[in-house]
Amino acid sequence: MLRSVLATLAAGLVVASTSPALATSPIAHVICAPTTDLHQRLTRQMGSSRSASGMRGPEQIMEVWTSAAGRWTLVVTYATGTSCIVAMGEDWATNDPHGAG
């Protein structure tokens, strides 16, 4: 299921080959696209919404996108206007940081 979701998403994305972040990726299945396009596809095709984000540095934001079906996607967004999916999975669970669970 996850492979077919990833393949569907990859088929619809235009990979920005001019971005320095794409030149030598150590991850074989990184999918990159202009940020607006990638966010729209995550919302429309995957039924996901951004549930968490944090700064990785002055040029990068890490984002976790999740769906009601429990799928999750880890996205890195660059200041250049490109975002890349760096990991995807299933069975996302949110932990209560205050110990109520």
Alpha helices by DSSP H, listed for the chain, are: 2-12, 35-44
In this prediction, residue 98 carries a pLDDT of: 72
Query: Can you tell me the distance from the alpha carbon of 63 to that of 50, in angstroms, rounded to the nearest whole number?
Result: 7
Position with higher pLDDT, 96 vs 93: 93
Q: Where are the domains of the chain?
A: 2-89
pLDDT tens for each residue of 9-27 = 544 443 433 344 444 444 4
Q: Is the pTM of this model over 0.85?
A: no
